[in-house]
Structure 1
Amino acid sequence: MNIIRMEDRNPALVEQLVRVWKASVKETHTFLSDEEINRIQKYVSRALTDIPHLMIAENGSGIPCAFMGINEQKLEMLFIAPEERGRGLGKKLIEYGIREFSINELGVNEQNPLAKGFYEHMGFQVYKRTETDEQGRPYPVLYMRLSSCTPS
């Protein structure tokens, strides 16, 4: 598995990553309706283009199967194709982000307990909760920091 920093975010790549995003969200964000997923999807291409640091992981065939986006030291997005889950891609991406970009903060939907557990396993701890997501929708968000960054 290669992790590649993507500077050139051509339309074909963005389209492939949107497919990874949608498949991942359908698998992990069971609290979202198909209608809501389709509504959110309209913003994903722009987010992939605008995020300052975008890393992708390719499968053995060279096809993007996971990605993460980082802004400053905050993990803004991490999505893995369902067929690639459980193979250590998330861990490798997070470790890369910590090592190369000093990520120490992220937000995760409270209704996605597997993601919360994964981030806790990677050393993050909840420090704040909001009733809505960043767009004001009724999806509580847990804000997490690396435990070494959490004030005692």
Structure 2
Amino acid sequence: MRRARPKDAAACAAILRGWIDETPWFRTAHPPRADARSVAGRIDAGAVTVAERGGAVAAFLALEGDYVACLYVAPDARGAGLGRRLIARAKRRRQRLCLWTFQANAAARRFYEREGFVERRRTDGRDNDEGLPDVEYVWPAQEAA
């Protein structure tokens, strides 16, 4: 694992776009170019950590303060522990973490709950760009109160 470099932006954006394209319930609000710009901006701000597998970027996490802005793992790298390692690294750097995921994203919700995150609240999605119901998670558990 290492801090992302500008040249990693395309690989990170491809991982993100791959998840979007393979997720039938997800209605993206942004064109691919906007996703790539967003990832590049987060990398430029020093907010992105990447995990490599076989010398290539296979996962990335964007941490903005105590907010996990995104965590994505390439399909062929899922189940290899990269997401868990990225979250563990974020936990070592912060005393508190929070994040949002979509209610329909059962795999992500199971992952975060296994990693000790607890649900703080749910919304109907009217405040996110996609208009999809979401869930806010926090770590450690006492932060949910």
RMSD: 1.9
> Which of 3, 6, 20 pairs up with 1:5?
3
Pairwise CA distance, 1:125: 1.0
Cα distance in structure 2, aligned partners of 1:125 and 1:4: 27
Tell me, what secondary structure is at the counterpart of 1:116? helix
Contact kept, 8 Å, 1:14 with 1:49, in 2: the verdict is yes
Corresponding position of 1:71: 64
**AA paired with 1:117?**
R
Q: Does 1:90 align with 2:83?
A: yes
Change (3 A) 1:63 1:40: same
Runs of at least 4 residues of structure 1 off by over 3 A?
133-136
Cα distance in structure 1, aligned partners of 2:2 and 2:119: 29
* 1:16-61 deviation per Cα after TM superposition (whole angstroms, max 9, x unaligned): 111111223334x33026xx47x4433222221232410001112x
Unaligned runs of 5+ in 1: none
* Greater mean alpha carbon deviation, residues 13-22 or residues 41-50: 41-50
Contact kept, 8 Å, 1:97 with 1:103, in 2: the verdict is no
> Which of 134, 142, 145 pairs up with 2:138?
145
Pairwise CA distance, 1:137: 2.8
> Which of 22, 25, 34 pairs up with 1:43?
34
TM-score (structure 2 length as normaliser): 0.86
**AA paired with 2:105?**
N
Cα distance in structure 2, aligned partners of 1:84 and 1:137: 26
Contact kept, 8 Å, 1:54 with 1:68, in 2: the verdict is yes
TM-score (structure 1 length as normaliser): 0.82
Cα distance in structure 2, aligned partners of 1:42 and 1:133: 24
Q: Does 1:110 align with 2:91?
A: no
Corresponding position of 1:119: 112
* 1:38-86 deviation per Cα after TM superposition (whole angstroms, max 9, x unaligned): x4433222221232410001112x1101000011001000000000001
Q: How many residues align?
A: 141
Pairwise CA distance, 1:4: 0.6
**AA paired with 2:53?**
N
**AA paired with 1:23?**
G
Pairwise CA distance, 1:102: 3.8
Tell me, what secondary structure is at the counterpart of 1:78? strand
Change (3 A) 1:63 1:77: same
Unaligned runs of 5+ in 2: none
